[in-house]
Structure 1
Amino acid sequence: MTTALITHTDCLQHVTPSGHPERVDRLMAIYAALDALGDDGLIRVDAPMGTDADILRVHPQAHIDAITAAAPDSGSRALDADTHMSAGSLTAAYRGVGAMTKAVDMVLGGEVQNAFAAMRPPGHHAEKQTPMGFCLFGNIAIAAKHALDVHGLSRVAVVDFDVHHGNGTQDLLWDEDRALFISSHQMPLYPGSGAAHETGASGNILNVPLAAHSGGAELRDVYERVILPALNDYKPELVLISAGFDAHRNDPLANLNWDEADFVWATQALYDVADTHAQGRVVSTLEGGYDLDALAASTRAHLEVLIKRGTHG
């Protein structure tokens, strides 16, 4: 089996204002790092356009209408202090949705063992009717609902190791008792949510806050004590990963002290769960990461684990 790398150059047309951390250069740095991997064990796939039907599994029509109406014909439009749209942003956002449904289709259809979507804008901060934190649509929540509703799965796990709490994913899956959402994140930090007492409508949310300046040892501790036991008890049929790399020690927007080896460890640990319970089926998507060198190196390290595990188990 192989790994699908799903992306699209339309994501380069999502242009943010000068000095914005979520910028085109992020994807260019990732492309350069991943091009060096070659194609052994890797299938490169252009992301299709997502559909309104995909988005409506988690967002109301009013949200789609608002995002569509906000898209400028030229220049840039601010949706809030952090979240901006340019003329190419709407298409890029629909590509992000399509990338995730395509990834789920390929993995659950047996075309590939796992998949990674290298897309932007990211998605895990987008709430039901609120674009925020650089995000327009909740891509990974859409993927979870696609796996449940279209492919008929009963238990899907979403694990988010971005340094910022995945408030959007939490909001979109709060009432979904067929999904388990787990987030480890620095706290206190934007967006201010993610306390341990936020547990979802049916105990399907697990938040694991981390103190500022904690590093790999603390990561391993909370995974081994809390996150991995919860996943193994849940026995997911598919593991989805919100792969934000802004917990890296060099990231300018946060204060955790992970490095590439820590992302490798976390990816391997999550893959062990997938091997045990989900036939090794994993779909991962890019979220944050704003130091270009750290982002590129960490993304490559993450994908190398997926390729190795997808090819050799």
Structure 2
Amino acid sequence: MTTAYLTHPVCEDHRLGADHPESPERLEAIQNRLISGQLMDFLRWREADLATLEQLNATHDPEYVASIFAKAPLEGHVELDSDTIMMPSTLDAALRAAGSVVKAVDLIMTGEVDHAFCAVRPPGHHAEYDRAMGFCLFNNIAVGARHALNEYGCQRVAIVDFDVHHGNGTEDIFESDTKVLYASSYQYPLFPYPDPGASHDNIIHMPLEKGSKGADFRAAYEAHLFPRLEAFQPELIMISAGFDGLAEDPLGQLQLKESDIIWLTERLVDVADRYSNGRIISVLEGGYNTDALGRAVFQHLKTIMKL
């Protein structure tokens, strides 16, 4: 079993200020932990490609994509909203972030690797069809999923999102596409303040109250996701891997532990082994306590790799 690790140096050049939680130190913490734990020795490092206009326009409103290119500053910064800021390197980083997931799909669907982890930023799951928000410009995992549907003829792609914030962008993009099953666990109420009763045939909401612990998290997945995954029988499993549900994280108030992330990952690996030929792509979303982030990504990847 082989696992690709996709990233790019420009993802660390996207700098939003010393006090901004979505910092380059997040990627540095992950890489340092993987190196110190000797897990990097078992990964196939791949440099993320740039997403193309064709790939972005297949997922987002082409007018929106054009507006992001037009607003990219040569110096200073541009605020897309109060949370989402573009600096001179931001567009390149966002293109690499989306392109990493496209490349991961290519590597997996052609059989070069079995799984992949995309260590990229800015994150993506809040980016809607025609709107940037929540630190996100392009919806990285949605761009990759659309690529799997369009280029490889996938009929059943499952996206599982365990970020503390609901992936409103991924829901917005796929809410009418029955080839994609999207499931999101999240703290409620919390940004982006979704409607927890808005589940559709292919959209699963799993809201968790502030202070929820691992038992609540696991019960939600047992009750709402895994029966649906068994019926759906995905050809590819994609994970919006947000680690801000951990108890140490400053942006959420869930009380998850690394063992809960390991549990969910093990369950998804089991489903992938039975229905998806083991194919899993995990894409970094949130996680803002860098120590906790590094440790949890290490365990998440180690579990995917069955080490």
TM-score of the aligned structures, taking structure 1 as reference length: 0.95
In the alignment, what sits opposite 1:188?
189
Q: Give a deviation string over 1:67-111, Cα, whole Å, max 9, x none.
A: 112211112221111111110000000001110010011111111
In the alignment, what sits opposite 2:77?
76
Q: Give a deviation string over 1:245-302, Cα, whole Å, max 9, x none.
A: 0000011111100011111111111111111111110001000001111111111111
Shift of 1:15: 1.0
CA distance in 2, matches of 1:227, 1:190: 22
User: Which runs of structure 2 are paired with 1:17-96 in the superposition (5 Å)?
Assistant: 17-36=17-36, 37-96=38-97
User: Does the aligned pair in 2 maintain the 1:123–1:287 contact within 8 Å?
Assistant: yes
The amino acid that maps onto 1:287 is E
CA distance in 2, matches of 1:307, 1:258: 22
RMSD over equivalenced CA pairs, Å: 1.1
The amino acid that maps onto 2:100 is A
SS in structure 2 at match of 1:15: coil
Shift of 1:40: 4.0
User: Does the aligned pair in 2 maintain the 1:27–1:118 contact within 8 Å?
Assistant: yes
Residue 231 of structure 2: which of 212, 230, 233 is its match?
A: 233
Structure 2, unaligned runs of 5 or more? none
SS in structure 1 at match of 2:240: strand
CA distance in 1, matches of 2:220, 2:270: 16
In the alignment, what sits opposite 1:8?
8
CA distance in 2, matches of 1:242, 1:192: 18
1:129 aligns with 2:130: yes
User: Does the aligned pair in 2 maintain the 1:42–1:307 contact within 8 Å?
Assistant: no
Specify whether residues 248 and 194 from structure 1 end up closer, same or farther in structure 2 by C-alpha distance, changes over 3 A only. Answer: farther
Q: Give a deviation string over 1:156-211, Cα, whole Å, max 9, x none.
A: 00000000000000001112121110001111000011513332xxx111111111
User: Does the aligned pair in 2 maintain the 1:15–1:85 contact within 8 Å?
Assistant: no
CA distance in 2, matches of 1:237, 1:62: 32
In the alignment, what sits opposite 1:285?
283
Specify whether residues 195 and 109 from structure 1 end up closer, same or farther in structure 2 by C-alpha distance, changes over 3 A only. Answer: same
How many residue pairs get aligned? The number is 306
Shift of 1:39: 4.0
CA distance in 1, matches of 2:62, 2:41: 42
Shift of 1:38: 4.2
CA distance in 2, matches of 1:288, 1:94: 18
In the alignment, what sits opposite 1:212?
210
CA distance in 1, matches of 2:292, 2:91: 28
Larger mean CA deviation between 70-79 and 132-141 belongs to 70-79
User: Which runs of structure 2 are paired with 1:159-170 in the superposition (5 Å)?
Assistant: 159-170=160-171
User: Does the aligned pair in 1 maintain the 2:97–2:140 contact within 8 Å?
Assistant: yes
Specify whether residues 300 and 175 from structure 1 end up closer, same or farther in structure 2 by C-alpha distance, changes over 3 A only. Answer: same
TM-score of the aligned structures, taking structure 2 as reference length: 0.97
Structure 1, unaligned runs of 5 or more? none
SS in structure 1 at match of 2:286: coil
SS in structure 1 at match of 2:224: helix
